[in-house]
Amino acid sequence: EPEVTQTPSHQVTQMGQEVILRCVPISNHLYFYWYRQILGQKVEFLVSFYNNEISEKSEIFDDQFSVERPDGSNFTLKIRSTKLEDSAMYFCASSDKYRMSEQYFGPGTRLTVT
Amino acid sequence: TQLLEQSPQFLSIQEGENLTVYCNSSSVFSSLQWYRQEPGEGPVLLVTVVTGGEVKKLKRLTFQFGDARKDSSLHITAAQPGDTGLYLCAGAPTTSGTYKYIFGTGTRLKVLA
């Protein structure tokens, strides 16, 4: 069964460093999302992406965040200058154009900023 | 701001018992999803409900969307230890073209053998 994959599973970085989190959405899906979950808290929406542009973003998704679909399969989230409070699980999700409300999530990348 | 409150937060029951968890909001959602999440993993989609009053069954799990599309429930019949996990509801706001999910606070279920 097709699934969303994410790499790396765990990323440790120093404060101020740039990180890129990678996702491979389900192959025929057209809508892509990033969410984050700080330990012990709710899953929070960051950004949605369709047709090579951002559809919607939350107030969390400030100028230090960016997303890109560099090729036909990958979807990336870049954090330019990480802060301690960026430590969280980051989940990528995707959905197809016929069932946009059904989002399928990847296993997540645990980002630890020290 | 649309919020989804889930209750109870924690539930510990014996194998074979029935249970219901609730997902409530004062806002209307165009659809509502139920997920199950294991520690350190991503949420796994269980079901999507779209129509007010809709009932969907997935083996021993029964999902219902409220008539006004503001709330939902998940009922598990004859719970098994394999049902242990974190159950999350997530709603898609009614704003046209918006599919950012609002996630609930979660219900952590433990089924004891």
B43 interface with A at CB cutoff 8 Å: yes
CA distance B21 to chain A (A): 17
Distance CA B60, CA B47 (A): 13
B2 interface with A at CB cutoff 8 Å: no
Inspect the interface and report whether the beta carbons of B45 and A102 lie closer than 8 Å.
yes
Number of domains in chain A: 1
B88 interface with A at CB cutoff 8 Å: yes
In a domain, A106, yes or no: no
Q: Look at residue A70 and tell me whether its pLDDT is greater than 90.
A: no
Q: Look at residue A73 and tell me whether its pLDDT is greater than 60.
A: yes
CA distance B39 to chain A (A): 10
Report the CATH number at residue A24: 2.60.40.10
B39 interface with A at CB cutoff 8 Å: no
In a domain, A22, yes or no: yes
For chain B, the residue count is: 113
pLDDT reported for residue B39: 87
**What residues of chain B lie within 8 A of the CB of A104, using their CB?**
45
pLDDT digit string, tens, across residues A14-53: 999 999 999 999 998 999 999 999 998 999 999 999 989 9
What is the CATH number assigned to the segment(s) B5-112?
2.60.40.10
| Domain segments of chain B as ranges | 5-112
Average pLDDT in the A80-101 region?
93
Per residue of chain B (113 residues), what is the pLDDT tens digit?
Answer: 678 999 999 999 999 999 999 999 999 998 999 999 998 899 999 999 999 999 999 999 999 999 999 999 999 999 999 999 999 999 988 765 667 899 998 999 999 99
CA distance A113 to chain B (A): 17
Residue keyed to tokens 């969303």: A4
In a domain, A33, yes or no: yes
Q: State the sign of the Cα–Cα–Cα–Cα dihedral B99, A88, A6, A82.
A: positive
Q: Which domain holds residue A90?
A: 5-98
CA distance A17 to chain B (A): 24
In a domain, A103, yes or no: no
Q: Look at residue A82 and tell me whether its pLDDT is greater than 70.
A: yes
Question: Three-state SS across B43-93?
Answer: CEEEEEECCCCCEEEECCEEEEECCCCCEEEEEECCCCHHHCEEEEEEEEE
Distance CA B50, CA A14 (A): 44
Inspect the interface and report whether the beta carbons of A43 and B99 lie closer than 8 Å.
no
For A91, the closest of B42, B92, B98 (CB atoms) is B42
Q: Look at residue A97 and tell me whether its pLDDT is greater than 90.
A: no
For B99, the closest of A6, A100, A110 (CB atoms) is A100
In a domain, A108, yes or no: no
For B41, the closest of A42, A104, A107 (CB atoms) is A107
